[in-house]
Amino acid sequence: MKFFVSALSLVMSLAVTANPVPDFPFVIVTEKLEQEVKPDVVKVRFSILTYEQSSNRAMEQLTKFSALMLEALKKHGVPTSSLESTQIDKNTKRARKDGAYNLEVLGYEVQQGFNLRLTNLDKYPSLMNELIRLDGVQNIDAFFETSKEEEYKEKMITELSAKARKKANALAQAQSREVKSVYGITTEENFGHAYAIFSLEYNPQEYALPMAADSYGMDLVMAVPEYIKVGQRITAIYELN
């Protein structure tokens, strides 16, 4: 009896998670578009790290290095309102020995993260060259983007929708059929996943413009790139006659 109940539960679970299939002829098409655009905003992420035998001394050094960083921003005409600070992390550094714990305290490491947003990219090269030379500054990452994301997004979605319909018509004609109407549209590419979650309602998160994967977390470059790549894709489901 237990075996029967377990088997029934498994079948019911599979039925719930399975993707529904339309009871009419249909075709699913996916179109992608990538475009090179000129960046006008850069987000810079970095941290300041200090290490001292005394916890108090480590905090004093962090304050000193942070003040030098703020002076650099002021020197280049960057308002402090463009800078965001994250919480301060403090770690105790101890001597190490296999099989032994709570050994002698060697010192204290204190770190604070910062996020800087620049809209005047002319200031980027000189400011970054100065920041990278400051004591304690480390892990600098630069992420270039465009403030015209919404504008590009609307244009790309319009163009992709037209391409998707054209491809659907070609596929239908090749099978001696014709497109009756669009059943659903999404930005998901995978067939099963697309059909499981597609919606006829506009979802801003689904239509977000992803930047190139290698544009974030890259090694610091002291020059502004000529362009960045933005991309968009849509998957459309069409009912056929």
Q: What is the pLDDT along the chain (241 residues), one digit of tens a residue?
A: 444 444 444 444 444 444 566 778 888 898 888 888 889 999 999 999 999 999 999 999 999 999 999 999 999 999 999 999 988 999 998 887 766 666 788 999 999 999 999 999 999 999 998 999 999 999 998 889 889 888 888 888 889 999 999 999 999 999 899 999 988 888 754 444 444 433 333 333 333 333 343 444 444 456 888 888 888 888 888 999 9
Contact 150, 37 (CB under 8 A): no
Query: Cα separation of 233 and 31, whole Å?
Result: 6
Query: Cα separation of 211 and 171, whole Å?
Result: 31
CA angle 86, 88, 94 (to 5 degrees): 145
Q: Which amino acid is at 221?
A: V
> What SS3 class is residue 39?
coil
> Can you read off the two tokens belonging to residue 165?
């319909």
